[in-house]
Amino acid sequence: MSQETLSNLLQENRRFAPPPELAASANATAETYAEAAEDRLGFWARQAERLSWSKPWGEVLDWTNPPFAKWFVGGELNVAYNCVDRHVEAGLGDRVAYHWEGEPGDTRTLTYADLQGEVNKAANALLELGVRKGDRVAIYLPMIPELPISMLACARIGATHSVVFGGFSADALRKRIDDAQAKLVITADGGYRRGKPSALKPTVDEAVAETPSIEKVLVVRRTNEPTATHERDVWWHDLVDGQSDEHEAQPHDAEHPLFILYTSGTTGNPKGILHTSGGYLTQVAYTHHAVFDLKPETDVYWCSADIGWVTGHSYIVYGPLANGATSVMYEGTPDTPHRGRWWEVIQKYKVTIFYTAPTAIRTFMKWGDDIPAGYDLSSLRLIGSVGEPINPEAYVWYRHHIGADRCPVVDTWWQTETGGIMISPLPGVTEGKPGAAMRPLPGVSVDVVDDQGQAVPNGGGGFLVVKEPWPSMLRTIWGDDERYVKTYWSRFEGMYFAGDGAKKDDDGDLWLLGRVDDVMLVSGHNISTTEVESALVSHPKVAEAAVTGATDPVTGQAIVAFVIPRGAAEGTEGEGFAKELRDHVAKALGPIAKPRQIMVVPELPKTRSGKIMRRLLKDVAENRSLGDVTTLTDGSVMDLISAKLPAAK
């Protein structure tokens, strides 16, 4: 890949200054950057002071055996104590930790004191089931309070949890249980999705029939649907409810394994990413404080992700709880019972900080502006995005229709592997650019390098790397140190290779350009899928677009685009529309970026975490049979798309 790789095609000149009121009392200021630049490790040591440690650490970082890092060496803490008990001890027991909203409209309010009782009971129950420090526990639950409670109960006793997203198949669950050799699965009879109970227990039964490591299955009753029972099954209400609500948390080493989480599988086989305790909690607490400008006394924070993804681990559970935040947690889908459900939730709980993903934002654009306009969203003061590059048009729509042109948008770049946010605007400091994740956070060393590992100058593009270890970095791939070294630390000497392309604009701000694997080579020019997609989404009739490079006899690769029109748009059929879009892209990016083919499709293939799976579109565009589809949300999408593609050659 040459330096012209992710060439600066797209012009985006809109700028949004931080709201003066927010800037005046922001948690992170311009000085924060300077302070961290002066003494990076000292900066992180100060952030670690946000936590309560049972035993102080010696060295901040031990990097004598790279790439195996140890942070806060010798320190001891209990993560659950830090997330729950210490707030109760500080007199904040009555503060709401979670406003939980079930999809059918049932609710539960858990204060920090309630959470303490529940976590302690669950911790005692795990001990009664024979779970001990260092054991692995698989958690396969819907978005109900027992999910964070189970995670915290594991953390409390030092068991390592592996949360598996509740939409995954028996096969996917079985693989993850086997890989981690989990002893226990915590699940539920089911959860609510799209207005009906959706069973989970049968999937677990199928999975554990072939997982010898599993001794017991702990089952929460959520839907009350009948479910088969086996000898290994234990009902949560039988076992947990009767436990003592007291449990004394023991300190664990800063490097004690907190959880394993498998990546979403956008690019291939998921990897079991291992995170540990002290550094992880430090960085998620700090970033949640700085990026979301959290004021725990007054804010109501809502991250709409599923806890089955890293975003939910770090920014629904650990970061917010470590900071004593009040959060909303919602069980179901955004369109049940109607397409305004999320806005209704914001209105109901007076949410002030909202964190979601570009895929959701583009869906709302497709559904139409009038839906959010029907709700009172005036409580919001800051909105965020994570998961994919946010197309400039989606950013501007989000800022305008959800943020009332008042709320700063924080576009946060990070990965399962990084554990916490790495690149993001600081809402009180940064003048936002639509589509740019902007700058590495204080204490984080990120750069863009060419294929020789040399930093590119401003205006250049290449590979995103992290140049120094960071507290919430993955420690390894579970059980596979070699794959850890090979995947992340072998591409460039001494640097973490993220697998994403990026460019630095003339001001040195960072624009994420999607997966390095997705870059297209058209007539000798490297073109990023993100830029072509953003150009398509900037057309008023387009809500979503996915682009892939298909082998072409003339140009090497040719751009094939799949677009979903906006709900209300007319004239989105036929060759006329395709030509209109091709011309639009040519105008925005230059004729080289003009798609060879444009397909209007009803849906796009996405991972369960909502990311577009371009590799499947490439299979379609190149007339191949499809690769691994196990992490695809809905298999029928590919049939719908293939049916639309008579012309794909």
Known binding residues for ATP are 387-389, 411-416, 500, 515
Q: Which is nearer to ligand ATP, 499 or 556 (CB)?
A: 499
Q: Which does 386 bind (CB under 5 to 8 A by kind): Mg ion, ligand ATP, none?
A: ligand ATP
Give the residue from 162, 163, 161, 157 showing the smallest Cα distance to 133: 157
Q: Give the tokens for residue 306.
A: 């599923």
Measured distance CA(350)–CA(99) in Å, rounded: 11
Q: Name every residue whose Cβ is closer than 8 Å to that of residue 386 and which is 6 or more positions away in sequence.
A: 305, 311, 355, 356, 357, 411, 412, 413, 414, 421
Q: Which does 27 bind (CB under 5 to 8 A by kind): ligand ATP, Mg ion, none?
A: none
**CA 45, 49, 54, 56 torsion: positive or negative?**
positive
Helices (H), 145-265: 146-157, 170-180, 201-208, 236-239
Count of CB atoms within 10 A of residue 82's CB? 24
* Placement of tokens 């090497």 in the chain: 556
Segment contacting ligand ATP by CB under 6 A, of 172-180, 216-224, 234-242, 494-502: 494-502
Measured distance CA(445)–CA(640) in Å, rounded: 43
Residues numbered 359 to 388 that lie near ligand ATP (CB under 6 A) are: 386-388
Residues numbered 253 to 272 that lie near ligand ATP (CB under 6 A) are: 263-267, 270
Measured distance CA(609)–CA(151) in Å, rounded: 20
Binding mask 219-258 for Mg ion (x = CB under 5 A): ----------------------------------------
Q: Name every residue whose Cβ is closer than 8 Å to that of residue 434 and which is 6 or more positions away in sequence.
A: 12, 14, 16, 390, 392, 393, 395, 396, 399, 409
Known binding-site positions for Mg(2+): 537, 539, 542
Segment contacting ligand ATP by CB under 6 A, of 8-16, 41-49, 498-506, 621-629: 498-506
Of 183, 247, 515, 615, the one binding ligand ATP (CB under 6 A) is 515
Q: Name every residue whose Cβ is closer than 8 Å to that of residue 62 and which is 6 or more positions away in sequence.
A: 69, 70, 71, 73
What pairing do the DSSP bridges indicate for beta strands 327-330 and 96-101?
parallel
Binding mask 258-297 for Mg ion (x = CB under 5 A): -----x----------------------------------
Min separation Cβ 435 and Mg ion, Å: 20
Min separation Cβ 413 and Mg ion, Å: 12
Q: Give the tokens for residue 159.
A: 């068991």
Q: Which is nearer to ligand ATP, 346 or 386 (CB)?
A: 386
Q: Give the tokens for residue 581.
A: 């879009």
Which three-class secondary structure state does DSSP give residue 280?
helix
Binding mask 383-422 for ligand ATP (x = CB under 6 A): ---xxxx---------------------xxx-xx------
Of 437, 520, 560, 563, the one binding ligand ATP (CB under 6 A) is 437
Binding status of residue 616 toward ligand ATP by CB under 6 A: no
Binding mask 288-327 for ligand ATP (x = CB under 6 A): ---------------------xx-----------------
Measured distance CA(460)–CA(448) in Å, rounded: 8
Q: Which does 611 bind (CB under 5 to 8 A by kind): ligand ATP, Mg ion, none?
A: ligand ATP
Yes or no: say if 286 and 27 are a contact pair by the CB < 8 Å rule: no
Which residues make up the interface to Mg ion (CB under 5 A)?
Answer: 263
- Which residues of the shown chain bind ligand ATP in the complex (CB under 6 A)? 263-267, 270, 309-310, 386-389, 411-413, 415-416, 437, 498-500, 512, 515, 609, 611
